[in-house]
Structure 1
Amino acid sequence: MEDAVLPEQVLNPEEIRALRDVASESRRGVRMPARLEEEFEAHERRAARVTRICLGLIPVFSFGTAPFWQDAVTGTPPELVVLLLWIELGIVVPLFIAVTLSQLRRVESAMAELLLMGGFLLVVACVELIRYRGHDLGHIVEPYLVLTIPVAVVTLARLPLARCIAFVAGYIAVLVVAWLLPGDSPGRGTQELILEVLLLGTALLTAFGTRLSSRRQWAAGKLLSMMAFRDPLTGLANRRALEDRYEIACRTVSRGQQRGMFFALLDMDHFKKVNDLYGHEYGDGVLAELGLVLAQYARRSMDMAARLGGDEFALLLYDCDLNDGRERLAELLDTIRNLGIEHRANHAAVVTVSAGGVAVGPNVPLSDAYHAADHCLYKAKHAGRDNLYVEDLAEKAARRSR
């Protein structure tokens, strides 16, 4: 979607810690929060699209062309021909055309994944039925042909580990049901059973190792992507993320869907003196505290708090007019003052901030909003700091035109 929020910009601290645990191979890095797990699964399904499509096409071509070669290659008894044609052309080929199309068009859907698994389990059941009927007619179908199905699906389809185990369990259930059918079952010898256990175990271990490696690579990539949009000290968005969000919000406002936006700049009062009196480590701690407070005032999906550098912060409030923006800024300044963070060089002996904000209408570039908010910030500081000043850009432009 055009107006979707960039995921790198909205990661909360819990999600960041989880990503770091996974990327660093920490013992805690086994599970991620639900939203990240869903995002990772969608990524895995997209990455497996081509492989899953190929897996779906193999039964289409092999079973679809079987009537032309199976008699010459396998010596199919005439009594089996009708059954084989029904299975091949009436069940498997139509089913796997649907499976292939689902992977082509809706690969991120969990239902497409379940359809893939169910389709191959049905193929296992069909092959076991052919083995069962062929055994009565003296036509032997080797069990190795069936074993290739779970091994291929588990190792190539990039299914979640729980679904790999479920698929293998379904495969075993089909074999047990076939073994319990009345009559003389073809069964499996001891060596064949040992081979199946070894190959299935190897396939599951391979799937587990591949999945774990993929999770770590994805988490590391997610963290790197996040760093391009985040300020490392405060955890807030940086200038680049603010530019992206402002552009998205501005396009939505221009379509007349919301009242407008409110853009504000905030500076800490006498920040240089904080570093001079208390040291840079204390100053960094103050900035981090301010970042936490600002984040609480930008909790809606299209709002954003950003650190632009030094002690300069920005606040973008979506669907917000001048009066609401003024109230939010006043509340924010009170909250910061009430933190009571020591700052002896400030007139209140605690940390305070000054703010300038502007109500922004459609089609106003960020550069214009920034310069206007910066001018308001200058007026707020000139009025005595720990203060705010706001303007409506549209009204200001109208006054100038008159």
Structure 2
Amino acid sequence: MHSRSAPSQKSEVAALRCEYRDARTEKAFLRHHLAMTQAQLRVTFLFCSLFYLSFAVTDVIWVGYGGRTLLLVGARLMVAATALGSLMLLRRYPRSIYITRMVASLVETAGAAGFLLIAALRPNEFSLHSISMSIVITVIYIYIPNRLLYAGAIALPATAGFVALAALLGNLRTAELATMAALLTMANLFGYVAARRYQMLLRDEYSAQTVLKNLSVRDPLTGCYNRRHLHNQLLETEISRAQRYRLSLTVIMCDLDHFKAVNDTYGHHGGDAVLQRFATLLQSMTRDSVDSVVRYGGEEFLLILPETDLAGGELLAERLRQALAAAPVEHDGRRIAVTASFGVASVDFASAPHTAHLNMIAAADDLLYAAKNGGRNRVCVRQLA
């Protein structure tokens, strides 16, 4: 798929939730960082498992052997089992954003709930528990990659539950309880600020990478893909996909008629305005995130149309021809009338030989010149066998 969306900028990130306002851009960002996110989750889940299990020794020291100790160990095993089970899900679904988000929230919830149960079963140590609660809050916000909204929705109720338990079971003075609540509130605030800063930096970096990538694969004047990207990746990707699924693939070579005369009459600024208008027309009349528009050279453009047969390609070329001829380009108060010629070549990979695609662009180029020689402002088509 090939999106024409403009590079995402910092202004497009929602300030509070630290996500791109455009859902497609946010999904692309998450997909880009998915492998790194899952790697961080694996490390953090193992750390959480070891953290909870290793402190089982303190349960015996503080509570001794008995039924309460078994409950404490059970709570720790529950958290560890949730983390290890989540590791298995990540291994089974390495490309799923949904599963990645789900297991992050699941482990955060299990960790917070498990710790509250441990605190309730060891009520004489709430001063020490508050230190551990601060660590839990930090892990939820910073060390487990998750939506900032989800992290806050887990950490804040857990904090409120901990303070409520301390008030009911901790036998603390009012001043001690108020101080504990204030410190844990600050831990939430600092955790949110640190996580927000990290998320903003990640998105700033991604936006910069997107801009650089667009500069490397797109023509700066028209915003279309450039010829280098066509031959390095784009064409091969679409041909391989069409072959794999036995689909039709159509290409359209199009060229502005008498473009030299436009430059001679209206200057290069007028020629640039015509090129930009033509590119905008091509992009607006093709399918976003499906079709690809390439500036092939000078005033020549190439359209790549996946899952499109010859009839569909011919129809699109005719619509483009008519739309361009019917709408002169406005430039410096003057109207520049322009037309274009089109060559359409198509391959049906359900029946064509495996090598039928090798001359697709050359065939479309030959058809374009046939349209030029036939009087210009026309469409020539051919089904490649």
Q: TM-score range by the shorter chain?
A: 0.7 to 0.9
TM, length-normalised to structure 1: 0.80
Q: Given that residues 340 and 350 in structure 1 are in contact (C-alpha distance below 8 angstroms), is that contact kept between their aligned partners in structure 2?
A: yes
Alpha-carbon offset, residue 326 of structure 1: 2.9
Measured at CA, do residues 162 and 297 of structure 1 come closer, stay the same or move farther in structure 2, by a change above 3 Å? same
What is the Cα deviation at residue 288 of structure 1?
Answer: 0.8
Matched, 1:32 2:21: yes
Q: Which runs of 5+ in 2 are unaligned?
A: none
Give the secondary structure class of the aligned counterpart of 1:351.
coil
CA distance, structure 1, for counterparts of residue 172 and residue 99 of structure 2: 34
How many angstroms apart in 1 are the aligned matches of 2:126 and 2:324? 83
Which of these residues, 293, 301, 313, is aligned with residue 325 of structure 1?
313
TM-aligned CA deviation for residue 37 of structure 1: 1.3
For the pair 1:49 / 2:38, whether they are aligned, the reply is yes
Q: Does 1:381 align with 2:369?
A: no
SS, match of residue 143 in structure 1: helix
After superposing the two structures, state which structure 1 stretch, 242-251 or 151-160, moved more. Answer: 242-251
RMSD value over aligned CA atoms?
A: 3.3
Name which of 315, 318, 325 aligns with 2:303.
315
Pair 1:95-2:82 in alignment:
yes
Alignment of 1:276-291 (within 5 A): 276-291=264-279
- Once residues 220 and 9 of structure 2 are traced to their aligned partners in structure 1, the CA distance between those partners, rounded to angstroms, is 14
- CA 1:280–1:24 in 2, change beyond 3 Å: closer, same or farther? farther
Q: Shift in Å at residue 381 of structure 1?
A: 1.4
Partners of 2:83 and 2:277 in 1: CA distance: 57
2:221 aligned to 228, 233, 255, which one? 233
Per the alignment, residue 220 of structure 1 pairs with 208
Amino acid in the other structure paired with 1:311? E
- CA distance in structure 1 between the partners assigned to 2:58 and 2:144 by the alignment: 28
**Quick one: structure 1 residues 367 and 255, their matched pair in 2 at CA, closer, same or farther if it must change by over 3 Å?**
closer
Check whether the contact 1:158–1:207 (CA below 8 A) recurs between aligned residues.
Answer: no
Answer yes or no: is 1:248 the counterpart of 2:237.
yes
Distance 1:324 1:112 in 2: 40
Which runs of 5 or more structure 1 residues have no equivalent in the other structure? 395-402
SS at match of 1:386: coil
Name which of structure 1's ranges 35-44 and 287-296 shifts more when overlaid on structure 2. 35-44
Cα contact 2:105–2:146 (8 A) shared by 1 = no
Instruction: Verify the 8 A CA contact 1:22 1:30 in the aligned structure 2.
Output: no
Shift of 1:324: 3.7
Whichever residue aligns with residue 160 of structure 2, its letter is: A
**1:339 partnered with 2:327:** yes
Which digits, 9 at most, give the CA deviation of each residue in 1:28-74, with x for residues without a partner? Answer: x974311111222344453232322222112322333445x3367x4
Going from structure 1 to structure 2, the CA distance change for 1:164 and 1:84 (only over 3 Å counts) comes to closer
Paired with 1:382 and 1:305, the residues of 2 have a C-alpha distance of 24
How do 1:1-400 and structure 2 match up within 5 A?
5=1, 9-12=2-5, 16=6, 19-22=8-11, 31-67=20-56, 69-70=57-58, 74-79=61-66, 80-89=68-77, 91-106=78-93, 108-135=96-123, 141-179=128-166, 181=168, 185=171, 188-243=176-231, 244-255=233-244, 257-258=246-247, 260-299=248-287, 301-341=289-329, 350-362=337-349, 363-364=354-355, 368-394=359-385
Q: Aligned AA for 1:297?
A: M
Give, in angstroms, the shift of residue 190 of structure 1. 4.2
What is the TM-score when the length of structure 2 is the normalising length?
Answer: 0.83
Deviations 1:68-115 (A, max 9, x none): x3367x4433343222222223x2222221133334444643344344
Displacement, 1:271?
A: 0.9
- The 2-side partners of 1:23 and 1:168 are apart by 27
Count of paired positions? 371
Offset from partner CA, 1:352-402 (integer Å, 9 cap, x none): 1112222334434766222222222222212222223223332xxxxxxxx
Aligned to 1:400: none
Aligned partner of residue 122 in structure 2, secondary structure: helix
The Cα of 1:307 is off from its aligned counterpart by 1.0
- The alpha-carbon distance between structure 1 residues 173 and 94, as it changes in their structure 2 partners (threshold 3 A), is same
Paired residue secondary structure (1:290): helix
CA contact (8 A) 1:263 1:369 kept: yes
Give 2:87's aligned amino acid.
T
Report percent identity of matched pairs.
Answer: 23
Read off the aligned partner of 1:353 and give its amino acid letter: A
The structural deviation recorded for 1:340 is 2.2
Q: Name the CA distance, whole Å, in 2 between partners of 1:40 and 1:32.
A: 12
Assess, with a 3 A threshold, how the Cα gap between structure 1 residues 388 and 71 changes in structure 2: closer, same or farther: closer
Asked whether the 8 Å contact 1:274–1:283 carries over to 2, the reply is yes
Letter in 2 for 1:248: T
Query: What displacement does 1:151 show?
Result: 1.0
